[in-house]
Chains A and B, each alone.
Chain A
Amino acid sequence: QQQVKQSPQSLIVQKGGISIINCAYENTAFDYFPWYQQFPGKGPALLIAIRPDVSEKKEGRFTISFNKSAKQFSLHIMDSQPGDSATYFCAATQGGSEKLVFGKGTKLTVNP
């Protein structure tokens, strides 16, 4: 059973557009939600992360929106660039556990 559900599986965006990837979770014990970017053949790279006491966090062109009551969080990539083309994973972990639970990933393609 997938503890973190991610959508869409794939996303195509034009250069300069906004990319939006959504994740939902059931386990209310989760208290840390990172997003990772992975290029083919490379390790996941930590992009940005949020805790439930904050509804939004922005770092450059990347923004996480968090809705605690709906148990949902999303990644927005503003002014998407072809270099952003990669697979994005949302993840979650809970206090007392060291394992990250990942979503299934979203393959983002930004067309020039």
Chain B
Amino acid sequence: AAGVIQSPRHLIKEKRETATLKCYPIPRHDTVYWYQQGPGQDPQFLISFYEKMQSDKGSIPDRFSAQQFSDYHSELNMSSLELGDSALYFCASSPPNSRLGETQYFGPGTRLLVL
């Protein structure tokens, strides 16, 4: 079965640089979520999109922005990167007709390292 695709899988950036993470949800899934997971930590919700509109927002820094496109893929844009942004970034998707927040399927993640 098709899963959530994230690219790139690994990314190394310098401080103050920008990064763009991409997420391709499971086909026909219409809701996308972004999470940040620090080393040894639980995933923290950043932001979500439903039908290309931002639907919920968590602890996402102002330096980060995201959007969902007409083909339902999503991009997380991170600017002025800081050392503390080094983490695993997960995208998840859920199918139509699922209740808000439920049945989230996670991608393999993008490991971002800021030097």
Question: A residues within 8 Å of B by Cβ?
Answer: 32, 34, 36, 41-46, 49, 89, 93-105
Digitize B92-115: 1 where CB-to-A-CB distance is under 8 Å, 0 elsewhere. Answer: 100000011111111111010000
Residue contact A98 to B108, C-beta cutoff 8 Å: no
- Determine which of A43, A45, A46 lies in contact with B103 in the assembled complex, contact meaning CB atoms within 8 Å: A46
What is the size, in residues, of chain B's interface with A at 8 Å between Cβ atoms? 28
Interface of A is mostly: loop
Chain B neighbourhood of A32, CB < 8 A: 99, 101-102
Chain A neighbourhood of B35, CB < 8 A: 100
Residue contact B42 to A43, C-beta cutoff 8 Å: no
Digitize B3-24: 1 where CB-to-A-CB distance is under 8 Å, 0 elsewhere. Answer: 0100000000000000000000
